[in-house]
Structure 1
Amino acid sequence: MQKVTPFLLFEGKAEEAIRFYTSTFKDSEVKTILYQENGMVLHATFTIKGQTVMAIDSIIEHGFTFTPALSLFIECDSGEELEELHHKLADNGKVLMPIADTPISEKFSWVEDRYGVSWQLNMMKK
């Protein structure tokens, strides 16, 4: 059983984001979505590359959102996968670090998607 699970809090965009993520990442799927009476997501679970992630829509407006100080780190199997994910996640988002090599990575990039979630995409050196 997974002991630590990322939990994403959205303001009315949880289902849209979940559908985007599960269509963007291979080997990903929606596990459960429970709805509030108003149609927003009460609780949802989905997987990205086998990692369970939880998400909800906030029932209240709040003065905070996601920050790049906490990101989801994805190990990519190929340079092509990294580039594809980079372009899909950066679409209507922003590039925090463009695709480049690093001392430990053959390719690396850091993007913030259209929902404000930060992603580090990595392909280790062989």
Structure 2
Amino acid sequence: MLRSMMQIYVKGSDKAVELYQKAFESELVASYPHADGTFMHAELNVYGQILALSEALEDEESITGTTMQFCLHFGEGKEELVLKAYHALKDGSKILYPLSPCDFSTLMVDLIDRYGVRWCIFV
């Protein structure tokens, strides 16, 4: 089976899983926790797509996502999904493009969340 995933490495993967479950109405479909409750690997079903999370380890060389962005395009009439995600993710985030219309969408936000993950969420 061919499958693609969005993969995130963060500090505090247990709390990140909780945040993304709230932001994207997602279900935890697989998990391999460490003894401390963080995740070696966890998979969330985000509207039919897999968002995988793993705990960034202290001794690993830092891997950044500054050249990456996860984009969720919900489509026309799905403003409530953009708003739900925005309200869940906004605390502790850096807003790069505020929640508003843009040239290609009636509602969009571009932000870097408290875990350093960049999201572009729009209809």
Task: Give the aligned partner of residue 96 of structure 1.
Answer: 96
SS at match of 2:5: coil
RMSD value, Cα: 2.1
- Cα distance in 2, alignment partners of residues 84 and 6 from structure 1: 20
Q: In the superposition, relative to structure 1, how do residues 86 and 101 fare at CA in structure 2: closer, same or farther (>3 Å)?
A: same
**Residues 35-54 of structure 1 aligned to structure 2 (within 5 Å):** 35-54=33-52
Structure 1 gaps of 5+ residues are: none
Percent sequence identity over aligned pairs: 21
- 1:81 and 2:81 are equivalent in the alignment: yes
Asked if the contact 2:69–2:117 (Cα under 8 Å) also holds between the matched residues in 1, the reply is yes
Asked if the contact 2:30–2:44 (Cα under 8 Å) also holds between the matched residues in 1, the reply is yes
- TM-score normalised by L of structure 1: 0.80
Q: What amino acid is aligned across from residue 17 of structure 2 in structure 1?
A: I
- Cα distance in 2, alignment partners of residues 79 and 39 from structure 1: 34
Q: Which runs of 4+ in 1 moved over 6 A?
A: none
Deviation at 1:101, TM superposition (A): 2.0
Once structures 1 and 2 are overlaid, which stretch shifts more, 32-41 or 70-79? 32-41
Asked if the contact 2:5–2:51 (Cα under 8 Å) also holds between the matched residues in 1, the reply is yes
SS at match of 2:102: coil
Asked if the contact 1:65–1:116 (Cα under 8 Å) also holds between the matched residues in 2, the reply is no
Once structures 1 and 2 are overlaid, which stretch shifts more, 14-23 or 94-103? 94-103
Q: What amino acid is aligned across from residue 33 of structure 1 in structure 2?
A: S
- Cα distance in 1, alignment partners of residues 90 and 63 from structure 2: 18
Structure 2 gaps of 5+ residues are: none
- Cα distance in 2, alignment partners of residues 49 and 120 from structure 1: 15
Q: In the superposition, relative to structure 1, how do residues 25 and 2 fare at CA in structure 2: closer, same or farther (>3 Å)?
A: farther
Count of matched residue pairs: 121
Q: RCO (CA 8 Å, sep 6+): is it higher in 1 or 2?
A: 2
